[in-house]
Amino acid sequence: KAGVTQTPRYLIKTRGQQVTLSCSPISGHRSVSWYQQTPGQGLQFLFEYFSETQRNKGNFPGRFSGRQFSNSRSEMNVSTLELGDSALYLCASSSQRGASYEQYFGPGTRLTVT
Amino acid sequence: QQQVKQSPQSLIVQKGGISIINCAYENTAFDYFPWYQQFPGKGPALLIAIRPDVSEKKEGRFTISFNKSAKQFSLHIMDSQPGDSATYFCAASSTYSGAGSYQLTFGKGTKLSVIP
């Protein structure tokens, strides 16, 4: 099975711009979660989607949003970028069938805001 | 506040030695505890995970020890190899349905260096 894929792998944006990141989960996985990783704050949960519905949201401002499509692919959007949004954005997918709770991460998108 | 505290921040181990990383959690609703390994430029890779109904789980050279009463769990890497040099993250989540379910709360990470 192919793993979680994320595009693009690298992005450079300017303050005030917006950005959209994409994630394709492992085939058959219906849950997609997004995390932000920075050296200072570590790995922090952004939100989780399951069957096109946002089930959980972390403590991030409304500038961070996401969605999930019927094929389980997910996108996250950050509007009005700030310098502090520079981070590695990771997507994780999970089947959540039966007692399976494992989350598998993609390689991430490295976002640099200048 | 839901927190997972991880120690040490960094660890240097001789090849063939045992690497031990510890984590402590506060939220008693947590019932799923995975460990992830991350190499530079890569996403975290799931290593091994445990549920609170067992006190130990072993997979190859990796063992999780779990102490429910102390709210602590640890990762032991036996016969550590230079290829194990990476950053290791412990995490915790609740698998009950409802708000906050399934989201992973991570420790800050431990940078492991295994020297030949």
Taking only the tens of pLDDT, chain B with its 116 residues reads 559 999 999 999 999 999 999 999 999 989 999 999 999 999 999 999 999 899 999 999 999 999 999 999 999 999 999 999 999 999 999 877 665 567 899 999 999 999 99
Residues above pLDDT 90, as percent of chain A = 87
Across the range A91-97, mean pLDDT stands at 86
CB atoms B43 and A103 under 8 Å: no
Lowest mean pLDDT among A57-71, A83-97, B86-100: B86-100
pLDDT score recorded for residue A101 = 79
- Residues A44-65 have a mean pLDDT of 94
Q: Is B31 exposed, middle or buried (0-12, 13-18, 19+ CB in 10 A)?
A: middle
Cα(A23)–Cα(A7) distance, rounded to whole angstroms?
7
Q: Which pair of tokens denotes residue A97?
A: 């069938």
For the cut 70, the answer to whether the pLDDT of residue A60 exceeds it is yes
Residue B55 region, left (φ>0) first, then alpha (ψ -120 to 50), else beta? alpha
- Best CA proximity match to A89, nearest among A31, A26, A47: A47
| pLDDT the model gives residue A98 | 63
Q: Which of A31, A101, A105 sits opposite B44 (nearest CB)?
A: A105
- Contact of A37 with A88, CB cutoff 8 Å: yes
- Count how many Cα atoms sit within 13 Å of the Cα of residue B39 in the half-sphere of its side chain: 8
Cα–Cα distance, A106 to B101 (Å, whole number): 21
Confidence of residue A107 (pLDDT cuts 50, 70, 90): very high
Q: What CA–CA distance (Å, rounded) separates B106 from B98?
A: 20
Residue B53 touches chain A, beta carbons under 8 Å: no
* B34 interfaces chain A, CB cutoff of 8 Å: yes
What is the least distance, in Å, from the CA of A29 to any CA of chain B?
14
Residue A34 clears pLDDT 70, i.e. is over it: yes
- Please name which of B28, B103, B33, B26 lies closest in space to residue B75, comparing C-alpha atoms: B33
Query: pLDDT tier at A95 (50, 70, 90 boundaries)?
Result: confident
- B90 interfacial to chain A (CB closer than 8 Å): no
pLDDT score of A100: 67
